[in-house]
Amino acid sequence: TMKIGLVLIIILVHLGYTNGSKTPDFYRAAVVEYAPILKYYPPITQFQANKIIETNLKYYKQYIENASKEKTQIIVFPEYGIFSPIWPNKSSIFPLLEIVPDASQNVNPVLDFDELEKEQSPILYTISKLARENNIYVVVDMGDLQYCDKLDDINCPPDGFYSFNTQVVFSNTGLILQKYHKINLYYENEYDYPKDKTPKHFNTSFGVTFGLGICFDIIFKNPMQTLQKYGITDFVYSTWWVNTPPFLQATTMQLGWSYVMGVNILASGSGANWFNSGSGIYSGGNVLDIHYNHGYEKMNQMMIADVPILNKLGTKNIIKEIKFLPEIQQNNVVRIETKILNYEENFVSLDIGTVNCRLDYSTNYRGNSTYALVVVDGYYWPSFQCKYCGLFKCSKKNCTEVAKYPVYGDVAFDNIVLTGEFSKQQGELTTFPIISEGYGLSFKQGWDYTIVNDSISSTQYQIEASGLDKTIHNFALFGRY
């Protein structure tokens, strides 16, 4: 009996409970990096669409059941995780769409759907059933079909329906708890831009309120940064990222956003290949678990971590009426310059436009690799303004190309300090540290990010690192309006 009691105490402590405390210190979360299986390609029939859905939901079932066995409370799946982003237009994706009820309707598909609804909505029914059977919150990305009529809606498309890239949240009882339509589409001709751009969040039975976001949303102020300003400290984030080194890489953006915003982010991405991969669980810039597929073949991976509860007071009473943060619109002028490092000098600087950039460094071994300092000021492809100051590894001696993953370096940096001063003349910036090693992963430790000086006219940021034991691929400051 004494042994049983001791074991029970150990279990309770492990679960984050202490004597006299009702609030746990953490919750257990899972994210899945997953590349969907496609047996058919557009155009497809309804039968073929159902087969695509059925095939991938079988894998979702395995991940949900395995996560549940590990006492996981919430699991997040990637954007396009059920059917991939290969659809050229709305008609091509139509057989894969389902009518997703609003959260206000309190629909529980596994309990409420009749046989016809089950047949027409296999994703909603199956995920609802799995969430309920496994007592776990489930977040999936799917296509929401909403019919419309020009008589009632002057914006109704000519084809008579809207299709939305949609995150759907299921409670641990199978209830459709929330849905969010992606507002920052990335060349997605198969989907419509939603008229309602209100950021969405949901509450859980384990005392955490989550904000929702999909892929390209992380670049913009709305919806995720708006939710953070209103007190949300935890985010479920589904993505099919397009890695464009050295500027935008999945895990570096996820880590940088978590660090600067001081939040938890459960990021689930595609495991398709190096171009689209990148997932992780982050807490205030700390990497709890992370995965990146730096190869050319599909690779799936589930990550599970105990995530600290940052806001034990909750946010139920904080969010009443959300007002959007303003997006700053500017011209499409861009200035990009690079300067190759001369290892004998131990510093390099580059100033263009409203960006001043300086790198101080020391090396203990100088091989044949070429590194360069790059500065960007203005409009960056595909559709946003930014300022960028960073070091990256070149693939060629003349540095006309960025090195592709994996990167094997023969230059070891003992100490490295990157300082970037960004003007505020176009507006306030949110600046993220963007740091990755040779295999595309964010560095877990060994670096520090600070705001050195913040004046009316400009802000000076700095990243410092020492004792890094891996090849640097990217070491940068990325500022967004």
For 130-171, the pLDDT digits (tens) are 999 999 999 999 999 999 999 999 999 999 999 999 999 999
- The edge-to-edge listing of strands for the beta sheet with 334-340 is 334-340, 371-380, 384-393, 472-480, 430-437
For the segment 181-194, the average pLDDT, to the nearest whole number, is 96
The DSSP symbol for 394 reads B
CB atoms within 10 A of CB 265: 28
Helices and strands, number each (H, E), in the chain: 8, 22
Q: What does the pLDDT read at residue 52?
A: 98
Q: pLDDT tier at 408 (50, 70, 90 boundaries)?
A: low
Residue 474 has pLDDT above 80, yes or no: yes
Instruction: Provide the annotated active-site residues.
Output: 79, 182, 215
Residue pair 60/66 in contact (Cβ under 8 Å)? The answer is no
Q: What is the pLDDT of residue 441?
A: 66
Pull the structure tokens for residue 142.
């799917």
Consecutive H or E run containing 105: none
Does 275 score more than 50 pLDDT?
yes
Residue 444 scores a pLDDT above 60: yes
Higher-pLDDT residue of 451, 323: 451
Highest-pLDDT range among 162-171, 293-302, 359-368: 162-171
Q: In which band, very low, low, confident or very high, does the pLDDT at 309 lie, cut at 50, 70 and 90?
A: very high
- Return the biggest CA–CA distance within the chain: 74
DSSP state of 34: -
CA–CA distance, 31 with 22 (Å, rounded to integer)? 26
Cβ–Cβ < 8 Å for 453, 411: no
Positive/negative CA dihedral, 62, 65, 66, 67:
positive
Name the band, by pLDDT with cuts 50, 70 and 90, for residue 25.
Answer: very high
Compute the distance between CA of residue 41 and CA of residue 429 in angstroms, rounded to an integer.
42
pLDDT category of residue 14 using cuts at 50, 70 and 90: very low
pLDDT at 435: 87
| % of the chain residues with pLDDT over 90 | 68
In this model, does residue 379 exceed pLDDT 80? no
CB under 8 A, 24+ apart: contacts of 41-46: 41/86, 42/86, 42/87, 42/88, 42/92, 42/93, 43/91, 43/92, 44/92, 44/95, 44/96, 45/95, 46/95
294 vs 289 pLDDT, higher one = 289
Contact (Cβ atoms closer than 8 angstroms) between residue 220 and residue 250: no
Residue 190 identity (one-letter amino acid): E
Q: What is the mean pLDDT of the chain?
A: 87
61-120 pLDDT per residue, tens: 999 999 999 999 999 999 999 999 999 999 999 999 999 999 999 999 999 999 999 999
224-228 contacts at long range (C-beta below 8 A, 24 or more positions apart) = 224/199, 224/257, 225/261, 225/325, 225/430, 226/199, 226/322, 226/323, 226/324, 226/325, 227/199, 227/201, 227/322, 228/261, 228/263
Predicted local distance difference test score (pLDDT) of residue 51: 97
Look at residue 244 in the predicted model and tell me its pLDDT.
81
Position 17 scores a pLDDT of 39
Structure tokens at 72: 């996981």
Please compute the mean of the pLDDT values over residues 238-266 and round it to a whole number: 91
Strands (E), 100-208: 137-147, 161-170, 176-181, 201-203
77: its two tokens = 């799946």
pTM: 0.90
Q: Is the distance from CB of 76 to CB of 236 less than 8 angstroms?
A: yes
Helix, strand, coil shares of the chain as percentages rounded to 5? 20, 35, 45
